[in-house]
Amino acid sequence: MTDRYAVIGNPIAHSKSPAIHAAFALQTGQKLNYTRLEAPLDGFSDCAAEFLAMGGKGCNVTVPFKEEAYRFANRLSARAELAGAVNTLWLDDDGLVGDNTDGAGLCRDLLRHTELRGKRILLLGAGGAARGVIAPLLAEKPARLLLANRSADKATQLAERFSAANLQATGLDALAGQAFDLVINATSASLAGQQLPLPPSLWRLETVAYDMMYGKEETPFLAQAAAGGVAMRLDGLGMLVEQAAEAFYLWRGVRPETQPVLTELRAALGTH
């Protein structure tokens, strides 16, 4: 019998996860069926519970349900517990397990392109996407990790979950005059087609700009970075593939090769 998995979100029609997991399954000889499920904004738990009750083995969780998935799981991995957000669920003999593979996916993709140790990193946003990547970023030993959010209080509350001397928090309005080696957008602004109120002084030629979102065209955040003269601008497609590979490994016990799948997706999108 073919094992069933799904990705749950709202919206979800754009998701590349079914294609990614199908490619992983083909590559590794695993038999599985993977589909998209759009849950009502107030109906994640019912949607996930129904899928699992009908024989589903596990699911990925995307915007805006990662914090709800954290509450839905029976047991949490250490990284999910720390993040307060879950993007990967699966059933084992003891119930429903929740994990967060976003940070592992982000770091693996970033390390293809740049060093993280000793760097000054700015992380924009304080929602579920940011929550999942803080601990893995800190594990890479940056010189500084600054969380910045429209609401400084929300960024401060998030930073307080982690006991790290090199972790600070601030509002977006306090970034002028500060310099960073890497700026990561973990907000949903690009998804909404919006630019963030960021000071022009943030951008330098040698800054690396990374948006967790992706598309056929450069995201609004990466367009801002380009206008500021930033040469290395990276979207989140690589992170998507890497976090999916981590979830696939948790589910199936096999770690797929990610580069061929990423290359195939880039070709389909017409990006480089």
Per-residue pLDDT of the chain (272 residues; tens, 9 = 90+): 799 999 999 999 989 999 999 999 999 999 999 999 999 999 999 999 999 999 999 999 998 899 999 999 999 999 999 889 999 999 999 899 999 999 999 999 999 999 999 999 999 999 888 989 999 999 999 999 999 999 999 999 999 999 899 999 999 999 999 999 999 999 989 878 899 999 999 999 999 999 999 988 999 999 999 999 999 999 999 999 999 999 999 999 999 999 999 999 999 988 75
Please name the residue ranges forming H helices in the chain.
Answer: 17-28, 44-53, 66-72, 78-83, 102-113, 128-131, 134-139, 152-159, 220-227, 237-252, 259-269
126 is an annotated ligand-binding site residue: yes
69 with 87: CB under 8 angstroms?
yes
pLDDT at residue 60, as a whole number: 98
pLDDT of 168 reads: 97
Whether residue 216 is annotated as binding a ligand: the answer is no
Reply yes or no on whether 66 is catalytic: yes
CA 120/CA 117 separation, integer angstroms? 9
Active-site annotation holder among 66, 119, 154, 216: 66
Which helix H or strand E contains 90, and what residues bound it? strand 88-92
CA-to-CA separations, 117 to 110, 141, 211, 235, in angstroms, rounded: 12, 5, 20, 21
- The residues, any chain, with a CB within 8 Å of residue 262's CB and separated by 6 or more, are 237, 238, 241
To the question of whether residue 62 is assigned a binding role by annotation, the answer is yes
Q: Is 188 marked as a binding-site residue?
A: no
Q: Determine if residue 212 is labeled as part of a ligand binding site.
A: yes
> Would you say 87 is a known binding-site residue?
yes
Q: Which residue has the tokens 């972790």?
A: 167
Spatial distance between the Cα atoms of 147 and 130, rounded to a whole number of angstroms:
9
For residue 125, say whether it is annotated as part of any ligand binding site. Answer: yes
DSSP string, 12-55: -TT--HHHHHHHHHHHHT--EEEEEEE--TT-HHHHHHHHHHTT
Question: Under a CB-based contact definition with an 8 Å cutoff, are residues 221 and 185 in contact?
Answer: yes
Q: What pLDDT, on a 0 to 100 scale, did the predictor assign at position 1?
A: 78
Query: pTM score, two decimals?
Result: 0.94
Pairing state between β 32-38 and 75-76: unpaired
C-alpha span between 249 and 139 (Å, rounded): 21
Supply the angle between the helices 17-28 and 259-269 in degrees, to the nearest 10. Answer: 140
Show the domains of the chain with their CATH numbers: 3-100+241-269 (3.40.50.10860), 103-235 (3.40.50.720)
Task: Tell me the pairing of strands 95-99 and 75-76.
Answer: parallel
**Nearest residue to 67 via CA among 78, 54, 83:** 83
The tokens describing 28, both together, are: 């590794």
Return the pLDDT at 272: 59
Q: What is the residue whose two structure tokens read 């907000």?
A: 187
**Contact between residue 232 and residue 183 where contact means Cβ atoms under 8 Å apart:** no
